[in-house]
Structure 1
């Protein structure tokens, strides 16, 4: 039988050949390289959280009186805001004078360092979106405000990236005063009304999570994992990649919009997406959906008593999220449904709700769509102008 090492070597060679055949330059550039290519110097900063995680924070300097923090979604990174080059949100905003800061939350490929834990240690991955909101955001916000000498900043979150602010505002309410406005692109909070295949995936996640835990696999979508390389190689195949990966996965989950996600763009995306997160993070998202409750992580009754002093995990009190939140909702979003975003709207005390007109606007278009300068960015710029 061919042993595992030989298989890994075969896949590694295959992946490298596939990458070499990919001629799209942007797929080979990181955030810093893309910033330079499109006319801007990028600074790299390290932010250390209260619990010891070391986060990579990218900064594209602009007017430091107008800092904007960009927060990516699940299994994503800061690259999501710049991979469209001159058509990306990061470049669009810095070209208009905003001071851009792009976080990488704990565990993704840019933020896999800790003061004393090693990513090979399962304890490193003992986090979900709760810790990202409770630790990563405060450390990053304070770091930016200290360096810009400002008392407030503006934030833009995509998908789970805005979920973190609901965690922050409800568990550390003093940070509400540090946010001028939080623009929530494709808002994720409640998941009561998702449909297949998303609902099916969420139903399976706890079982998959338990299986992974049995095998000691606390990190998922690692760049070093054989299956991640195979996925990237498959998606880069010209004949089948777009049908399988774009239409079969991205469109099926996030909503279909082929005019905004062309075949030539797919290699740029799959060169950095998905990236790593914790098994626990995926399970926590599933719990929110299956329990129909936006609450903290459910460890089970006995451990919940030890952790929370209650059998069930506490709810996040959205009434404490006093920061101004502007919800940007797409009509074709397979993950962030209109009904779920209306539930969120009705529970936030300081909110604006914008159901955008473009009928095909889906979950991924907010960051990857090639014509967002027409359909989305004017709305973002109007909010920024209003509150800055």
Structure 2
């Protein structure tokens, strides 16, 4: 069920891309917007809440919140200041960064390519792989340099679970830059139709050109060694619990598997449910805190 906060934000988001910072500031939180350029030229907009309302000093614990498919940064603030994950973490001592992948309404720019559908510029020629190997590394490196930290915490919903696994599999050096990751309904194996996780499957002739093989290569999930928590729900018709259990067998460092204690909890409830704070965000916070330095 969408709250009044959410309804107002959704109405505004299609009119003005600067609404995120205004919405955050409206409720007394500091708000920043950062421009981050990826290695392949995409210009991403990342939002930041450096501290909570009760403080004037930037928090030194850094967390990156990463949206799922068809989502963007507002997913983590849409429940409002009393219930949304971004505000909860900011009030509890975290420097919160809100990711926007290429192609979202906030990150629809490129140094040389046009997002205009009628121009064959190649702007839209990307998939999860590029988000994992370009967008996430650009964000993480920018955040670490900006905050003078050596690691972040990662929280991702749906597609963000897949892009996280791509990042840590393809660029294993980033395992050292992420202290722990909470993956909410990670869309890695989907409905467990297959027990592997591969690069994008074009037609065979294109696969041969891109991969030198008619089949796309598998990701080396064994490289993904960051401690992770896997969140799953019985009412999720997109990401089955069976697929999460299978993923837990593939990832080498699963620290927690959490089943949402609500029979009808579904895929979008992680973001929009009125009780998401109690059912999801408090367990996420407790998980992250296990990996804080004493």
- TM-score (norm. length: structure 1): 0.67
Residue in structure 1 matched with residue 207 of structure 2 by the alignment: 304
Separation in structure 1 between the aligned mates of residue 191 and residue 161 of structure 2, nearest angstrom = 17
Is 2:195–2:246's contact at 8 Å kept on the other side of the alignment?
no
Separation in structure 2 between the aligned mates of residue 354 and residue 114 of structure 1, nearest angstrom = 39
Structure 1 unmatched ranges of 5 or more? 1-23, 194-288
Given the alignment of the two structures, is residue 52 of structure 1 paired with residue 51 of structure 2, yes or no? Answer: no
- Equivalent residue runs for 1:26-45 within 5 Å: 26=9, 27-28=11-12, 30-45=19-34
Separation in structure 2 between the aligned mates of residue 192 and residue 293 of structure 1, nearest angstrom = 12
Higher helix share: 1
Residue in structure 2 matched with residue 239 of structure 1 by the alignment: none
Choose which of 246, 253, 269 in structure 2 pairs with 1:343: 246
Structure 2 unmatched ranges of 5 or more? 1-6, 14-18, 52-57
The size of the alignment, in residue pairs, is 270
SS, match of residue 100 in structure 1? strand
Given the alignment of the two structures, is residue 104 of structure 1 paired with residue 123 of structure 2, yes or no? Answer: no
Is 1:304–1:312's contact at 8 Å kept on the other side of the alignment?
yes
Residue in structure 2 matched with residue 128 of structure 1 by the alignment: 127
Separation in structure 2 between the aligned mates of residue 78 and residue 25 of structure 1, nearest angstrom = 15
SS, match of residue 85 in structure 1? coil
SS, match of residue 34 in structure 1? helix
Aligned CA RMSD, in angstroms, stands at: 1.7
Residue in structure 1 matched with residue 67 of structure 2 by the alignment: 72
- Equivalent residue runs for 1:223-302 within 5 Å: 293-302=196-205
Separation in structure 2 between the aligned mates of residue 149 and residue 294 of structure 1, nearest angstrom = 34
Is 1:191–1:292's contact at 8 Å kept on the other side of the alignment?
no
Separation in structure 1 between the aligned mates of residue 218 and residue 201 of structure 2, nearest angstrom = 11
Separation in structure 2 between the aligned mates of residue 324 and residue 306 of structure 1, nearest angstrom = 36
Separation in structure 2 between the aligned mates of residue 110 and residue 126 of structure 1, nearest angstrom = 18
Is 1:34–1:85's contact at 8 Å kept on the other side of the alignment?
no
Q: Give how far 1:38 is off.
A: 1.8
Residue in structure 2 matched with residue 232 of structure 1 by the alignment: none
Q: Which moved more, 1:343-352 or 1:293-302?
A: 293-302
Q: Give how far 1:96 is off.
A: 1.1
Q: Which has the larger radius of gyration?
A: 1
Q: Give how far 1:192 is off.
A: 3.6
Residue in structure 2 matched with residue 279 of structure 1 by the alignment: none
Separation in structure 2 between the aligned mates of residue 353 and residue 317 of structure 1, nearest angstrom = 21
Is 1:181–1:325's contact at 8 Å kept on the other side of the alignment?
yes
Q: Which moved more, 1:140-149 or 1:349-358?
A: 349-358
SS, match of residue 238 in structure 2? coil
Superposed CA deviations along residues 202-221 of structure 1, whole A, max 9, x for unmatched, are xxxxxxxxxxxxxxxxxxxx
Q: Give how far 1:25 is off.
A: 4.0
Residue in structure 2 matched with residue 319 of structure 1 by the alignment: 222
Q: Give how far 1:336 is off.
A: 1.0
